[in-house]
C-alpha cells in the first residue's frame, strides 16, 4: 500500500496572452505547490476500486483519478488492477488544482507500484492529455507554465513562505471564467508592474461579485498581496496579517513546498 500526498497549487502570476484556435487560452504562469494536501492510498489488487471520503465528488470516469488510471493503462498495455482511496481536503472549484494534482499523484503512485515502467516525461505527456494543469505537478513544485499550461519550465524553488488560503463557500467553474474573460480590456489594462497578478481575476469577480469585497477586506486586514488562485474562488494572501472573520469563508494557513526529484511531495 502506498500513501501519497497530493498538494494544491497557487499561481504567483498568471498572464493570458490570447485565445487559440482550439478554444484554449495561451498563458504564462508561475505555479507553486503549497502544503495543503489531499491523500491518496493506492495498492495493487485483483480488481479496480475507487473510493473517496467526499460523497459529493463523482467516482466515475469523470473523476481525474479514474482518467489517470485509464491513460496509464493505455500506455502500459500490461494487465494490472488497483484499489485507490482519495481523502479530500483541497476545496473544489477553488483554482487550487486539486483534481489535476490527484491525477498526477495517481500516475506517480501506479508507476511506483509497477516498479517505474514510465519516465517522468512519459507521465507528464499523459498528464497533458488529462488536463492543462496536470504536467506541472511533475516539476519539483515551482515552474513557469506556458502553452495552455502543459509546457513546464521548472525553476529554482522560492524561499519558503507562509501563505493564507482563503476560500469562500461559492465556487467557480474554470471554463465559465475563461468564457467571461474580456481579452480586449486585458490588453488595455497592462499589469501595473506588480510581481503578483492574475488576468482571470476580473472575469471571476464579474461572475461572483462578493469576491471583490473579500479581496478588499483581506487587503484592509494588512496583507501585502491578495490574489485569486487560478480561476478561483480561493485567494492566497502573503504578508504579516491574519484574515478577518468573514461569513461563509474558510481560512487555512499553509506554506510553499517543493519535492525532492526522486520523491513525491511530503
Ligand atoms: O485543460 P482543462 O481541462 O483543465 O481545462 C478546462 C477548461 O478551462 C477548458 O475546457 C477551457 O475552457 C479552459 N481553459 C482555457 N485555457 C487554458 C486552460 C483551460 O481556456 N489554458
Q: Tell me the pLDDT band of 86, cut-offs 50, 70 and 90.
A: very high
199, 202, 205, 206: CA torsion to nearest 10: -130
8 Cα: distance to centroid of ligand 1 (angstroms): 18
Q: What is the pLDDT of residue 158?
A: 85
- Predicted structure pTM score: 0.97
Is-catalytic flag, 133? yes
- 25 Cβ below 6 A of ligand 1: yes
Question: Do 55 and 17 contact (CB within 8 A), yes or no?
Answer: no
The HSE-up count of residue 48 (CA atoms within 13 Å, CB side) is: 13
Say what the pLDDT of residue 185 is: 82
**pLDDT greater at residue 183 or residue 98:** 98
Q: How confident is the model at residue 260 (pLDDT cuts 50, 70, 90)?
A: very high
Burial 34-59 (b: 16+ CB within 10 A, else e): bbbbbebebeeeeeeebebeeeebeb
What is the structure's pLDDT at 192?
A: 67
Residue 77's pLDDT band (cuts 50, 70, 90):
confident
Whether the Cβ atoms of residue 153 and residue 145 lie closer than 8 Å to each other: yes
Query: Which candidate in 9, 71, 167, 215 is catalytic?
Result: 9
Given a cut of 70, whether residue 61 has pLDDT beyond it is: yes
Confidence band, pLDDT 50/70/90 cuts, at residue 142: very high
Q: Are 224 and 250 in contact (CB under 8 A)?
A: no
pLDDT tens for each residue of 104-122 = 999 999 999 999 999 999 9
Task: Give the pLDDT of residue 194.
Answer: 81
Q: Which of 11, 21, 24, 27 to mutate to test the pocket of ligand 1 (most atoms within 8 A of CB)?
A: 24
Structural Rg of the chain based on CA atoms: 18
pLDDT digits (tens, 9 = 90+) for 154-173: 999 988 899 999 999 999 99
| Ranges 49-53, 80-84, 194-198: which has the least confidence | 194-198
- pLDDT given for residue 187 in this prediction: 67
The answer to whether residue 247 scores a pLDDT higher than 90 is yes
* Ligand 1, atom 7: closest residue by C-alpha: 175
% of residues, the chain, pLDDT over 90: 94
177 CA distance to ligand 1 middle (Å): 10
- 3 state DSSP class of 203: helix
Q: Looking at 38, 71, 133, 167, which residue is catalytic?
A: 133
Residue nearest to atom 9 of ligand 1 (CA): 175
Q: How confident is the model at residue 248 (pLDDT cuts 50, 70, 90)?
A: very high
Return mean pLDDT, the chain: 96
| 144 pLDDT higher than 90 | yes
Measuring CA to CA, how many Å separate 264 from each of 100, 106, 166, 218, 241?
15, 11, 26, 33, 31
128 CA distance to ligand 1 middle (Å): 11
Q: Is the CB of 132 under 6 A from ligand 1?
A: yes
Given a cut of 70, whether residue 29 has pLDDT beyond it is yes
Q: What is the Cα–Cα distance from 178 to 117, expressed in whole angstroms?
A: 37
User: What per-residue confidence (pLDDT) applies to 191?
Assistant: 67
pLDDT tens string 168-226: 999 999 999 999 999 988 766 666 668 999 999 999 999 999 999 999 999 999 999 99
Amino acid at each position: 500500500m502506498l500513501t501519497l500526498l497530493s498538494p494544491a497549487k497557487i499561481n504567483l502570476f498568471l498572464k493570458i496572452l490570447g485565445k487559440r484556435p482550439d478554444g484554449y487560452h495561451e498563458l504564462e504562469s508561475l505555479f507553486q505547490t503549497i502544503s495543503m494536501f489531499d491523500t491518496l492510498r493506492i495498492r495493487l489488487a485483483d480488481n479496480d476500486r475507487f473510493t473517496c471520503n467526499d460523497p459529493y465528488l463523482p467516482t466515475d470516469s469523470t473523476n481525474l483519478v479514474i482518467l489517470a488510471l485509464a491513460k496509464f493503462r493505455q500506455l502500459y498495455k500490461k494487465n494490472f488492477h488497483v484499489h485507490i482511496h482519495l481523502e479530500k481536503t483541497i476545496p473544489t472549484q477553488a483554482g487550487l488544482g486539486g483534481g489535476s494534482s490527484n491525477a498526477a499523484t495517481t500516475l506517480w503512485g501506479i508507476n511506483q507500484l509497477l516498479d517505474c515502467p514510465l519516465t517522468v516525461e512519459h507521465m507528464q505527456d499523459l498528464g497533458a492529455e488529462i488536463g492543462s494543469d496536470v504536467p506541472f505537478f511533475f516539476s519539483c513544485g515551482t515552474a513557469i507554465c506556458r502553452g495552455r499550461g502543459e509546457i513546464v519550465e521548472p525553476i529554482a524553488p522560492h524561499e519558503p513562505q507562509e501563505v493564507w488560503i482563503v476560500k469562500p463557500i461559492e465556487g467557480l467553474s474554470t471554463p465559465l471564467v475563461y468564457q467571461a474573460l474580456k481579452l480586449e480590456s486585458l490588453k488595455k489594462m497592462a499589469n501595473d508592474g506588480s510581481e503578483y497578478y492574475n488576468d482571470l481575476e476580473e472575469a471571476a469577480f464579474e461572475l461572483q461579485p462578493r469576491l471583490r469585497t473579500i479581496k478588499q477586506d483581506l487587503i484592509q486586514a494588512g496583507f501585502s498581496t491578495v490574489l485569486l488562485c487560478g480561476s478561483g474562488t480561493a485567494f492566497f494572501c502573503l504578508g504579516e496579517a491574519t484574515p478577518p472573520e468573514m461569513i461563509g469563508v474558510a481560512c487555512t494557513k499553509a506554506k510553499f513546498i517543493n519535492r525532492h526529484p526522486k520523491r513525491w511531495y511530503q
